[in-house]
Amino acid sequence: MPDFEFDVDTSIAAGWDRFAARLAELLRDLVPGATFDLAVPVLGSPSTRTPYVRFTAADDGNIHAEVSGGGSEDSPEPLGPVRLRQLVALGWAPGASTESGLGLTFPVDRAPEVAHLVAGTMERVFGIPHPVFLHDVSEPQDPSVSEPQEPSTGRSEDPAPADVDFRPRMIATPDEATRALESVLSEVYQRRVTPDEHDVFTVPAGYVLLFIRAHRSLPLVVLRSPLVSSVEDPAAAEAEVAILNRDSLWCRYVFDGETISAEAEFVDRVFVPVNFKIHLAEISAELDDVYSDLAHRVTGRRWRDLRAADDHRPREQ
Express each pLDDT in 23-63 by its tens digit: 999 999 999 999 989 988 876 555 567 889 999 999 998 99
The mean pLDDT of 271-277, rounded to a whole number, is 94
What is the reported pTM?
Answer: 0.78
Express each pLDDT in 204-219 by its tens digit: 988 889 999 999 888 9
End-to-end CA distance of the chain: 25
- Domain span at residue 58 reads 8-136
Kindly tell me if the per-residue pLDDT of 255 is higher than 90.
yes
Same structural domain, 197 and 286: yes
Same structural domain, 201 and 281: yes
Q: Which of 68-72, 95-99, 279-283, 308-312 has the lowest mean pLDDT?
A: 308-312
Same structural domain, 36 and 108: yes
pLDDT computed for residue 43 by the predictor: 60
Strands 169-170 and 252-255: unpaired
Whether 49 is covered by a domain: the verdict is yes
Same structural domain, 129 and 12: yes
pLDDT computed for residue 38 by the predictor: 92
Whether 274 is covered by a domain: the verdict is yes
Whether 309 is covered by a domain: the verdict is no
Q: Which of 67-81, 99-113, 141-155 has the lowest mean pLDDT?
A: 141-155
Same structural domain, 178 and 106: no
Q: Are 263 and 252 in contact (CB under 8 A)?
A: yes
Same structural domain, 101 and 202: no
53: left (phi over 0), alpha (psi -120 to 50) or beta: beta
pLDDT computed for residue 127 by the predictor: 87
Same structural domain, 180 and 285: yes
Which of 111-115, 136-140, 205-209, 293-297 has maximum average pLDDT?
A: 111-115
CA-CA distance, 176 to 122, in Å (whole number)? 34
**What is the number of alpha carbons within 13 Å of residue 34 lying toward its C-beta?**
9
Whether 316 is covered by a domain: the verdict is no
Nearest alpha carbon to residue 105 among 38, 36, 56, 34: 56
56: amino acid identity, one letter: T
Indicate the number of domains in the chain. 2
Same structural domain, 64 and 124: yes
